[in-house]
Amino acid sequence: MEDLLRPLYQERASHSNTLGILIIEKNKVISPETDNFDVILLIIVSEAEQSWYVKHYEFNGKSAAMHIVEEKLLKDWIDTSTYRRAVEWVINGTTVFDRNEYISGLKEELRTFPQEKRNLKLAIEFAKLTRSYSESKDLYESGHYLDAYSRILRSLHYLGRLAIIEKGYHPEVLVWSQVKRIAPEVYKLYEELIKSNEETKKRVELMLLAVEFALNSKAQICAKHLLDIMHTETEPWSFGELKVHPGVRSYALDLSTVIEYLISKDIIDVILEETKGNSIYHRKYKAK
């Protein structure tokens, strides 16, 4: 396969802005990792007119997709799990060109998973989990049990990803097989939800309790990224100030749910500041 693709990537390798090239081959009939293409050609560049350029090819009855990705965008995908396939491509891909050992360094960084990057990913998944749990609880209390079931299943998915990150691994596209191997306690909850003979209402009720317990136990660790940002200032933060902070960008859409949850657990304090309006206060937040 590599010999057939060589004409495609050799020209790219000669460009001074090409940092590295990886090949990822399909190894099963249905392959989410490669979007069902027979091979992925990932070309990482320092800069380009388009931050992500994709071209499809066919040869000898085989299909290939070439992705040319700017380094900045690729690192953003990796740090925020925006495009999880990219992480697997770098981890599992075969290096065919490596300028100044760029790919080697990237693979090593993914293998070691530095704590600061781990904290960001924990914050992102925790934010999704708090919102999903809140929605599931609201639907359950409103009597919409099938919708609540759907949301609590999603909550378990986020909980599984959290457990994987906590143990120093990057979540894969096929997350449940990974959860079964790395976090069997979460996988057991998943099995209980989908295989139980209890009525839907009872299953959701039990999972809400389990997820609430997990949230409580993980709140301080998973909120560390946000709390560290809040501790950079001595004055309390307005929501608007926090929302536009560059460090919070990756989970800004779920920030209000996270803050309300952390307030309920006495991890963040609400500070009221007077306004010109009678008995109306600005609501600000301070991490303990």
Q: What is the CATH number of domain 115-274?
A: 1.20.120.330
pLDDT above 90 for 1: no
pLDDT tens digits, one per residue of 128-141: 999 999 999 999 99
pLDDT tens digits, one per residue of 151-202: 999 999 999 999 999 999 998 877 899 999 999 999 999 999 999 999 999 9
pLDDT tens digits, one per residue of 60-119: 888 999 999 999 999 999 999 889 889 899 999 999 999 999 999 999 999 999 999 999
Whether this prediction's pTM lies above 0.85 is answered by: yes
Q: Where are the domains of the chain?
A: 2-112, 115-274
Mean of the per-residue pLDDT values of the chain: 93
Sheet holding 52-59, edge to edge: 52-59, 62-70, 39-45, 18-25, 94-98
Q: What is the CATH number of domain 2-112?
A: 3.30.460.10
Banded model confidence at residue 268, pLDDT cuts 50, 70, 90: very high
pLDDT above 70 for 31: yes
pLDDT above 70 covers a percentage of the chain that reads: 99
